[in-house]
Amino acid sequence: MIAGLKKALGQDGGQDLDCSLHFSDAPSWEALEAMVNARQQELGWQPPDLETGPTNPLALRRTFNQPGEPEVKLYRDSAAWCPYCERVWLQLEEKRIPYTIEKINMRCYGDKPPEYTRKVPSGLLPALEVDGQLWTESAEIMSLLEERFPEHKPLLPPAGSREAARADLLLRLERRLYSDWLPWLCQGWDNAGKRARFEGTMDAVDAELARGGGPYFMGAELSLVECVFAPMLERIAASIPYYKGLLVRGTGRWPNVDRWFDAMETRETYLGLKSDFYTHVQDLPPQLGGCVSIPEAAEVAAAIDGTDGRSWHLPLPPLTRTSLEPHAPGEDPPVDTLRAAARLVGNHAAVTRFAARGCGRPGRRLVSAPLADPTAEPGEAYLPAVDAALRHVAHALLVGAEAKQRGADALSAGGKGSGSGFVAEPAAAALAYMRDRVGVPRDLPLPAARQLRAHCNFAIDVLGA
């Protein structure tokens, strides 16, 4: 137990409710910002340029260094949960067509602005505006982008060619895969039959990847077929282990699919917009009306949810191409922890109020995604405690949990700080609330997100709540 940190977070039994003194052991946000800057210098890592750098979900305008105002505007969902938005997003990034972005909620986690439903009465996403004209339906949008911007890396073979016929066949195969995945995922009867159909279609996908020579569907180069398959295979690779206990990636069962994922994960475009298993297994049920778990999946599900006591705790299990959640580029813990700290420090005021919902009141108007509660109210009385807890998390990310522990013990031995048991539990609840809502890619890429989740757990363990 880290006595100093417990004290700093206010769990050493004092009764005084004035938090300002008790949390003085946590570095200020200004001090943390200076530490982030110093660490950036030390590691030679800088936050990417959102307009011209690698694909980044925080970007609202992408120019790719091309002059003039972008002609294209993409409406995509705020949380980056929508697979049809992901298709178009990947296509725009691969083609490097300048565009602006407006993020719109999906109904399962929030409200849509009336200006959007006036434009798109169904509220469906994605939508695309080109020169003031609005387009919906991802397939139509993708065709339009190919036709309208031929000077930007074509992603489809010339119409009428043999390659174009093959691309058509592959696009139909993606729909077949969707149709064989969905019933297995969402229905509880005929498990064996549905599994057999799903595996058969995965075999067909793997065989097509082999037939094309790989690593991509059409051969050595990425094509529009990837933009369509990526959202689907990504959701399959997350949901089938979690709900059905069958590992899809990294086992050699579908070697060409493994190779395809590895190739996709060499691309800055895909890496910037891909999600993670946890986010997907949370985002699919509200979109699909529920997914059905089978008992054999319980162990894998606990590891993905971080409830197994290991997978979201320090020291984190390595992230490799064969880990439970494969990630071909692996990880870089110094940079990953820095990225997580930089995001937390840079957005601390909003994150503190958001996390404090965990010790506040649920909203009066609920939405269907269990982890979303747009009208929840933060626990105002605990904001200083939550703020301090988050500063400790950021500090641990920057100096490392072990050094943090040593420093905290030294502080404790020196007798600094005094606290109140009154705030430890709410602070821990706030950290847990935030930890469970770190979304990939919306908030951070996977390697940094898992560091943030694990460092929240470190602080929660210290609080002993």
Ligand X SMILES: N[C@@H](CCC(=O)N[C@@H](CS)C(=O)NCC(=O)O)C(=O)O
427 binds ligand X (CB under 6 A): no
80 binds ligand X (CB under 6 A): no
Degrees, nearest 5: CA angle 128-281-201: 80
Q: How far is the CB of 72 from ligand X (least distance, A)?
A: 16
The span of 55-63, 102-110, 272-280, 401-409 binding ligand X (CB under 6 A) equals: 102-110
Q: How far is the CB of 137 from ligand X (least distance, A)?
A: 5
Q: How far is the CB of 88 from ligand X (least distance, A)?
A: 8
What x/- string results for residues 135 through 174 when contact with ligand X is judged by CB under 6 A?
A: --xxx-----------------------------------
341 binds ligand X (CB under 6 A): no
Q: Which residues partner with 219 through β-bridges?
A: 216
75 binds ligand X (CB under 6 A): no
- Report the C-alpha gap between 85 and 78 in whole angstroms: 10
What x/- string results for residues 240 through 279 when contact with ligand X is judged by CB under 6 A?
A: ----------------------------------------
Cα separation of the two ends of the chain: 12
Q: How far is the CB of 84 from ligand X (least distance, A)?
A: 4
282 binds ligand X (CB under 6 A): no
The long-range contacts involving 321-326, CB below 8 angstroms and separated by at least 24 positions, are 321/250, 321/258, 321/262, 322/250, 322/251, 323/250, 324/241, 324/247, 324/300, 325/238, 325/276, 325/277, 325/446, 326/237, 326/249, 326/250, 326/258, 326/261
108 binds ligand X (CB under 6 A): yes
182 binds ligand X (CB under 6 A): no
Provide the phi-psi class of 252: left if phi over 0, else alpha when psi is between -120 and 50, else beta.
left
The answer to whether 245 touches 296, Cβ cutoff 8 Å, is: yes
125 binds ligand X (CB under 6 A): yes
Cβ proximity to ligand X, 90 vs 341, nearer residue: 90
What x/- string results for residues 283 through 322 when contact with ligand X is judged by CB under 6 A?
A: ----x-----------------------------------
The answer to whether 288 touches 186, Cβ cutoff 8 Å, is: yes
Q: What is the dihedral of CA 404, 406, 407, 411, to 10 degrees?
A: 130
HSE, side-chain direction, 13 A CA sphere, residue 321? 14
84 binds ligand X (CB under 6 A): yes
Binding site for ligand X (CB under 6 A): 82-84, 106-108, 123-126, 137-139, 287
